[in-house]
Amino acid sequence: MKYRCKVCSHIIVAADSRNEQDAEQNQAAEKKQLQTKPIDAGNRPPETKSLTKKKTINLNFAPDNPSTRSFGLRAKFNLAICAVFLCAIIMLYFLADSGLKKDAENQVSEKAHLLMTTMEQSRDFTSKVIKPALYQALPDRFIVEGMSSSFCARTIFDGIQESYPQYYFKHAAPHPRNPINQADVFEMSIIEKFSANPELKAWQGYRIQGKEKVYCIMKPIVAEKRCMRCHSEPRLAPKELLDRYEYRHGNENGFHRSVGEVIGTLTVSVPASVVVENARNKTMLFVKVIALVFVLLVVVINFLFSKMILSPIKHLANNADDISMGRFETHIDTSGTDEIAKLAKAFNRMKVSIKMVIDHLAR
């Protein structure tokens, strides 16, 4: 007869080692007796039980079925480790990317604010220090190179741009005297926002300039009373200013302004794409280093796991197989004090107990 073990799914084949002739003779005698004696419902003899005794049972284990074979401990362990690693890598990637990206944005913002502060200070120094001094020394002259805050700021930035060509500065305005300061569509939209909302003191954010992403800061330029000599009516403007910007040829750009009017924006921008890309590269480098460390850890842990756990368990499983086949002389290594050693000692005691029971039954 065949049985399937509920624990290990082995096929157990039980075969009676006694000659089956006695059982066949008993069955023939019982059949003959039933044929010679009538049997009715009330005279049915009790069912006879076979007195055949089985002295020995041979257990033959069929080989494992590959379709029912499950993952081993090493595969399960590595699968769990890889799952944990994958989750950790994803979490670390997003955390690192978020942190480094935020740090990159802070760097870009600081550079833009530094450039804006530099340009503002150069304008203030020109209008509050140099211009009054030149007016006092030369009351009948207007020297554009020293008295125009826009001209001085532009000249200073040209020197900065030689070292930082990707930086951007502009007195963005509609109909400016200098065509380089002509506001584009985006800058005009911000000028309109400043005009519509006098309480708005600055705008900052990302924009696409050309084909590159930049971080931009814009502040309104509001006409003051001291600006009216050069920006109100052409007849009040200095002769030197009219000659430089060719007013006599019909150029009235920069005039007809009034006090309190938003006449333009002080605009600076610094490149953001390079900084953000560097932050992304740092994130990928960080993830690669973590992945390399993890691979090394997996190799070391697998080696220790195999040496300290898998090998003893495999040795114990082989010993258990030998005992199940009746080879009770199998030696089980019980050295050590850990849990596997305790399990080996328990198997050794079980081997002795099974052998004693079998010897007792044999007698």
Q: What is the pLDDT of residues 145-204, one digit of tens each?
A: 888 888 899 999 999 999 999 999 999 999 888 888 999 999 999 999 999 998 999 999
Burial class of residue 44, CB neighbours in 10 A (0-12, 13-18, 19+): exposed
Spatial neighbors of 90 by CB under 8 A, at least 6 apart, are none
Domain residue spans of the chain: 1-35+56-61, 100-279
In 3-state terms the chain splits into helix, strand, coil percentages (rounded to 5) of 60, 15, 30
**Distance (Å, rounded) from C-alpha 79 to C-alpha 119?**
59
pLDDT tens column, 116-129: 999 999 999 998 89
**Distance (Å, rounded) from C-alpha 13 to C-alpha 213?**
77
Backbone angles phi, psi at 295, to 5 degrees: -60, -45
Spatial neighbors of 216 by CB under 8 A, at least 6 apart, are 112, 168, 203, 204, 205, 206, 207, 209, 267, 268, 269
Query: Does the pLDDT at position 283 exceed 60?
Result: yes
**Distance (Å, rounded) from C-alpha 270 to C-alpha 352?**
83
Specify the pLDDT at position 39.
46
**Distance (Å, rounded) from C-alpha 324 to C-alpha 87?**
43
pLDDT tens column, 294-343: 889 988 988 888 888 888 888 888 888 887 777 777 777 777 788 888 88
**CATH 3.30.450 correct for 100-279:** yes
**Distance (Å, rounded) from C-alpha 231 to C-alpha 252?**
10
Specify the pLDDT at position 170.
93
Lowest mean pLDDT among 159-168, 172-181, 244-253, 354-363: 244-253
Q: Around 255, how many Cα atoms within 13 Å sit in the side-chain half-sphere?
A: 15
Task: Taking residues 16-32, report their average pLDDT.
Answer: 53
SS3 state of residue 173: strand
Which strand ranges, in their side-by-side order, compose the sheet holding 212-222? Answer: 168-172, 262-271, 212-222, 203-209
Going by pLDDT thresholds of 50, 70 and 90, the confidence category of residue 230 is confident
Query: Does the pLDDT at position 110 exceed 90?
Result: yes
Backbone angles phi, psi at 220, to 5 degrees: -70, 145
Instruction: Give the distance from CA 203 to its chain's centroid.
Output: 32
Query: Does the pLDDT at position 71 exceed 80?
Result: no
Hey, what are 38's tokens? Answer: 């009538």
